[in-house]
């Protein structure tokens, strides 16, 4: 792919201009938030490198950079749950990306839930020495990860 | 604040357990996506350290870690646009946070727009050598940043 991102050389242009000039961090990555086009809820938080962002724009299928596998990753390549991109936005200083995607009746989380954000944190004062107990907001998995990802390493790291 | 996050020592517990055990990166930060409780849209993408996350949980007001100012930051302290937290969720491997907040008729972006994600990126094949021209999805600023942030440095970096 030969199209270019504009060089970042002027803060006013970055914030108020029309040209895409994303900022990749010291590892060459930009954080990406992916929301569900149907429900508006957040499905996942990931990262892209330059190539993944360009591929996503051109193919309208979400590509990420897998930090655990250290490679470009077409979301859904193993599970079949491809994310069809409906809209991409970038923020004021162009250092984070928002994808809105259509996943049909599928799922986005390798644990099996529709969204990776299936647990909520209680709010308010917590007693000294207490651990925080979360609540499951999704009760049923959309698929069985042991079948779908059979033989694949778990991306979660301690 | 004396309450504790659970130690991360078991992947199954991190993914499927009920205890909050967030993963902070090598800089002690966790990425945070903040959505608008009223519209569902993304307002901003930021970072928290351990203390900012605890303060947010206990006070129900969003606190972030400012990477440019290198300090904890009660969102709205200067602008008055405090974010009242309605819900907090965490993802499967507990390395990113989702806040849903109420900002009333206010704004979240230091440039003056309601959301930091006020520009969309066109999708599809881009001609060789072309730069990408974005579209403004928000047309009117909610406030004048030169008045509200008078004398403050711009957090955007090249």
Give, in degrees to the nearest 5, the angle at Cα B15 between A70 and B31.
60
Q: Is B7 on the interface with A (CB under 8 A)?
A: no
Q: How many residue pairs from chains A and B have C-beta atoms closer than 8 A?
A: 196
pLDDT tens per residue across span A112-154: 999 999 999 999 998 888 889 999 999 999 999 999 999 888 9
Q: How far apart are CA B121 and CA A19, in angstroms?
A: 9
B123: nearest CA in chain A? A57
pLDDT computed for residue A108 by the predictor = 94
What percent of chain A has pLDDT above 70?
99
Decide if pLDDT at B1 tops 70: no
pLDDT tens readout for residues A54-64: 999 999 999 99
DSSP A51: H
Return residues 121-140 of B near A (CB < 8 Å): 121-137
Residue of chain B whose alpha carbon sits nearest to that of A125: B58
Question: For residue A1, what pLDDT is reported?
Answer: 55
Q: Which pLDDT value is given to residue A151?
A: 87
Chain A contact for B32, CB < 8 A?
A: no
Q: What is the pLDDT of residues B24-70, one digit of tens each?
A: 999 999 999 999 999 999 999 999 999 999 999 999 999 999 998 89
pLDDT greater than 60 at residue A3: yes
> What is the rounded average pLDDT for all residues in chain A?
94
**Residue B65 to residue B49: CA distance in whole angstroms:** 6
Tell me the C-alpha distance between B94 and B48, whole Å.
13
């Amino acid at each position: 792919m030969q199209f270019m991102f504009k060089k970042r050389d002027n803060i006013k242009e970055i914030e108020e201009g029309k040209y895409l000039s994303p900022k990749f961090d010291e590892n060459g990555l930009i954080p990406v938030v992916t929301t569900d086009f149907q429900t508006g809820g957040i499905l996942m938080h990931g990262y892209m490198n330059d190539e993944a962002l360009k591929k996503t724009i051109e193919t309208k299928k979400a590509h990420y950079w897998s930090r655990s596998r250290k490679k470009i990753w077409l979301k859904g390549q193993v599970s079949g749950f491809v994310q069809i991109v409906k809209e991409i936005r970038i923020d004021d200083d162009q250092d984070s990306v928002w994808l809105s995607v259509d996943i049909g009746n599928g799922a986005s989380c390798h644990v099996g839930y529709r969204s990776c954000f299936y647990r909520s944190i209680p709010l308010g004062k917590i007693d000294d020495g207490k651990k925080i107990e979360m609540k499951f907001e999704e009760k049923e998995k959309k698929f069985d990860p042991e079948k779908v990802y059979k033989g694949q390493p778990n991306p979660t790291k301690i």
